[in-house]
Structure 1
């Protein structure tokens, strides 16, 4: 009986140990499953972080490239504005020189014509005085000396023809002087209109370039703000990794 009782106790103990072993095995299986899940989740998280880091690197590189391109475009626009402003100043100087030269030439021509006109006018006045005296002498000698009268008449005719000729010359010179003056004025007006058009065109181009620079400045500030915000949002371990 005692042996049977001992065997029963052994069996019970073995059964208990078996149940305990089963329980332990089940717990180990659960823990293994949990560990497997945690490992899979960790691996997934690492993969996502790696992809995010790659996207972050690409985004930062794109922002830096955009910023560099914008700064280059801004520098090019500023240099173009400087060239245009220099061209505008040079054109203004050239036009002022041309206007001064035209005025000088016109004044010289005008003075030359006026001097000649004044000289011819004085000579005409002298001819008129001589013609008047000849007419008076012809009237006095008409009844006394026929040959003398004929001679005076010829002299009067010559004086009249010379006077008429000089009147024609004076009229022609005055007309030429006036026409040249008008042509010079018209030429200056054409130059002035062309200058005004060129100035307006250059000013329009300068305004467009300035607006372009203002837009690029705004874009640069925006890109810098986005870059700063992006760097602030990048994970610390990624920044340390990049720094290393």
Structure 2
């Protein structure tokens, strides 16, 4: 195909000479530098592809897939017959000093960057799952320890009450024995003794009562699962 001849030549114009060589010789610092865009605030799974590409530091392609998409959307190519659409696109790329390998390589790099980012999401999910499994085990151990301590405290309280009741019964037996001894001792002189409540009150008023049992501890056991 001659340069600038035929239908494609009339559509796109003549091919600039040495366009690719001039582009390759252009220093990188002469290309316009755009300010970096702000960080993407979206959740990781909704992060924009452009933000992922920037994070991956993909090299700038001379003709990336975005430029190729714009060329395809050009009415001249989009409205061309199917049999000439590919030829027209290749002619447009060649006219600008590019080949189809450039957007192809750009697409491969972008897909690779997306795959790598997907891998980080999977790794993050796996790490959180392992962390949660360990924490659940710790929580279960804390729960079982709390139940064990609670059972020990309940058993201690029950035994304390049972011991107090046993001591009261034991003292009651001693009391009855002492009552019987005193009655038998005084019966020859005063007859049968009748320890009425008034007598007991007058006698017991001079007796110092035993120390009261200490009040239950005010400490409260808290379920470690309640945070």
Q: TM-score, normalised by structure 1?
A: 0.43
- Structure with bigger helix share is 1
Q: Rg larger in 1 or in 2?
A: 1
